[in-house]
Structures are given as structure tokens and as C-alpha cells.
Structure 1
Amino acid sequence: MKKRPSLMVLCAVCCLFAADIAMAKNSSVSSEQVKENVIAESIASYPGVCACPFNQARNGSACGRRSAWSKAGGYAPICYKNEVTDEMVKQWRENNS
């Protein structure tokens, strides 16, 4: 009579498989895509609607100079790809692998 693998072993194998897929997916993400993700996460972490000049205010107008990015001090969201450093790309890859 054959023994069935325990549920614990089966779960461990599934977790390893899922981790391999996540790592493969992350390594295939281009630097440009990572930069877009860094920007999106930065904007999403801002508590208001005007993180960046190109965002829309609640009344539908462009945030422009009212944006946090345009004001000195306080929040400093990342809005443009040229602001994303190689270190930020590396950190995003480490955090999302």
C-alpha cells in the first residue's frame, strides 16, 4: 500500500513552486516597468489626490503647482522616471521578489 504525502509536504511544495514563479516573474520585469511601479507606489502612498502635477484635483482640474511634488517640505512623492534611482529599482526588486 502506497503512502500519500502528508498535507504539510504538499503545502511546502506548493509554496516553493509559488515562490519560484514570483521570482521568475520579478526578474522578467524591465527596469522601465519597475520605475513605473515605484512611481505608482509613491503616488498611492500620498494621502491626498494631488501628489504630482499631472494628477487631477477633486474638481477635475490638473493639480499643477498645488501638488505635493511642487511644494518644498513635507511629502516628496516620486512623479517622474528620471527621479527613480538605480538604488530604488534595486530596492523594489528586493522587496517584490
Structure 2
Amino acid sequence: MIAFIASAVFIGGNATAKGKAVSDASVKENIIQASIASYPGVCACPFNRARNGSACGKRSAWSKAGGYAPVCYEKEVTTEMVKQWREQNQS
């Protein structure tokens, strides 16, 4: 899970403009979006939609133990993850 989160933080990209600070909320959203994008399927999180349009719900990777552990919700983003994202994405 640590490696997955680290890759999600890295994939987040550089979302800072020169001289402009990014809010914690924006950083958290970037981390979540990167985490979801790094999942190889369509059902990373319960709120995602399967290919047939149905809600992923309990079929999502987030809902299953073991394997992928995507970050889907703001409450899951730790202060350390925000710190790492800022260090890797400073302008």
C-alpha cells in the first residue's frame, strides 16, 4: 500500500503555479485523483462507475481487502502524504 500511495503522490504532477500556493484541499484532491488514475481498472472506488454504468460499490478495489488500496476519500489523505506531495511538486 505504501508503494501504491507513493506512486499516486508522484503521479499527481506539478499542480503549482510559480508563486502560488496550493491549498491543502487541492493537494488532497490531486492525491485522490492520481490514486484513482493509477488503478488499472474502472472500479477503484465505490463511487466510480463500472463499464455497464452501474455503481462499483462493494466491487471496488477500495472495498476489498488485499491487493490495490486506492485512496478514495479526503479523510484517508494523511498529513504525511500532503507533505510528500508538496515536496515533490514545488515550483
Same fold (TM over 0.5): yes
Q: 5+ residue gaps in structure 2?
A: 1-15
Residue 62, structure 1, aligned to residue 55, structure 2: yes
Equivalent residue number for residue 24 of structure 1: 19
**How many equivalent pairs are there?**
75
Higher helix share: 1
Structure label with greater radius of gyration: 1
Q: CA deviation at 1:22?
A: 4.1
What 5-or-longer segments of structure 1 have no aligned partner? 1-20
Which string of whole-angstrom CA distances, capped at 9 and with x for unpartnered residues, describes residues 57-90 of structure 1? 0000110000000000000000000000000000
- Calculate the aligned-residue CA RMSD, in Å: 1.3
Fraction of identical pairs, as percent: 76
Q: Point out which structure has higher relative CO (alpha carbons under 8 A, 6+ apart).
A: 2
TM-score (norm 1): 0.74
